[in-house]
């Protein structure tokens, strides 16, 4: 025989009093799902930022490559100009050697002319009749000598001009060499910058891969949580259906019998039957309570397994 206080304690443990814990767990699960969705959006934003930065670095890398191509073209042009200046210097040196040879030839001619003049003066004393011819010839030779002297002056001026041009070419060559050295240094700097950019690009690709893996894990966890929530909600619906069908009838029986007890208080036999009916309803209610407890424990085990 079950006492009335035991029946009341079982009624207090009905699903109406036990629905609070699953409701709190559902709220917590929804909060966790919202948090995970927020984290997923943050990771997506970080991934977008990483892609933009990668595109920017690729653009910088293309600019550096274009600058290297321009520098190489300019270096090739300067090498060509350097060869032209070297060729001009060689031609100038050849011309200077030729002019020096001509100068020596004119000097020899002057020596010969002087010797011939001395010979003619000697012949002048011996050949008075040939004086007019000799004087005419002397004038001619003097004219030739003057012409040679003028040519020598012109040759000296041209030589001075060529020496000045040679110095200018040498100065231009020094400037060109300095500019070439500067461009080589700039080229090395660009190459070093490209190496650093490539290292940074490799590092960012690694970080991008890590973020993708984190997003995949978060997505899998969200999927697992969604499956658990579906099963949990389905279990709650099933629990509500069981409560509605299996608790309502025994409670109604107990309430009805408790109202009838006061009417048959003077009839022990009837009162005993009513108490028996009440006891059956209480046992049914107690059995369902145990079944409901086992169902909730099984649902909690599933939840812990999915979270793990």
Cα distances from 82 to residues 74, 182, 292, in angstroms, run: 12, 16, 98
The residue with tokens 């409701």 is 23
Residue 53 binned pLDDT confidence (cut-offs 50, 70, 90)? very high
pLDDT value at residue 91: 93
pLDDT in tens, 107-135: 999 899 899 888 887 887 888 887 787 78
Q: pLDDT category, 8, cuts 50, 70, 90? A: very low
Strand runs labelled E in the chain: none
CA distance 198 to 58: 9
- Tell me the pLDDT band of 246, cut-offs 50, 70 and 90: low
Task: Please give the pLDDT value at position 10.
Answer: 44
Average pLDDT of the chain to the nearest whole number = 81
Question: Which one, of 212, 269, 27, lies nearest residue 204 by Cα?
Answer: 212
Pick the range with the lowest mean pLDDT from 52-61, 112-121, 222-231: 222-231
**Does the pTM exceed 0.85?**
no
- Pick from 7-16, 45-54, 273-282 the range whose average pLDDT is largest: 45-54
pLDDT tens-digit profile of 59-98? 999 999 999 899 899 999 999 999 998 999 899 899 999 9
Task: Grade residue 57 by pLDDT with cuts at 50, 70 and 90.
Answer: very high
| Cα 199 versus chain centre, distance | 9
**Tens digits of per-residue pLDDT, 148-157?**
888 889 888 8
More confident residue, 190 or 3: 190
């Amino acid at each position: 025989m079950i006492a009335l206080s035991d029946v009341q304690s079982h009624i207090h443990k009905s699903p109406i009093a036990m629905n609070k814990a699953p409701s709190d767990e559902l709220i917590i699960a929804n909060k966790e799902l919202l948090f995970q969705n927020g984290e997923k959006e943050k990771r997506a934003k970080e991934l977008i930022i990483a892609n933009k930065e990668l595109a920017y670095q690729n653009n910088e890398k293309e600019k550096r490559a274009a600058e290297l191509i321009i520098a190489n073209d300019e270096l090739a042009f300067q090498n060509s100009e350097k060869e032209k200046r070297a060729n001009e210097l060689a031609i100038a040196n050849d011309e200077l050697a030729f002019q020096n040879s001509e100068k020596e030839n004119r000097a020899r001619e002057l020596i010969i002319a002087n010797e011939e003049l001395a010979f003619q003066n000697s012949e002048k004393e011996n050949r008075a009749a040939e004086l007019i011819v000799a004087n005419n010839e002397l004038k001619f030779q003097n004219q030739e000598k003057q012409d040679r002297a003028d040519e020598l002056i012109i040759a000296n001026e041209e030589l001075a001009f060529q020496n000045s041009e040679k110095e200018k070419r040498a100065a231009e060559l020094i400037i060109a060499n300095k500019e070439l050295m500067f461009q080589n240094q700039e080229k090395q700097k660009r190459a070093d910058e490209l190496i650093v950019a490539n290292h940074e690009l490799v590092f960012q690709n690694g970080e991008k891969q890590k973020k993708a893996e984190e997003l995949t894990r978060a997505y899998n966890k969200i999927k697992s949580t969604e499956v658990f929530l579906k099963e949990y909600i389905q279990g709650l619906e099933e629990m509500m259906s069981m409560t509605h069908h299996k608790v309502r009838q025994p409670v109604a029986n107990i309430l009805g019998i408790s109202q009838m007890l006061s009417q048959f208080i003077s009839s022990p036999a009837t009162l005993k039957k009513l108490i028996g009916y009440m006891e059956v309803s209480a046992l049914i209610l107690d059995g369902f309570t145990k079944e409901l407890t086992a169902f909730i424990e099984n649902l909690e085990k599933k939840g812990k397994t999915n979270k793990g």
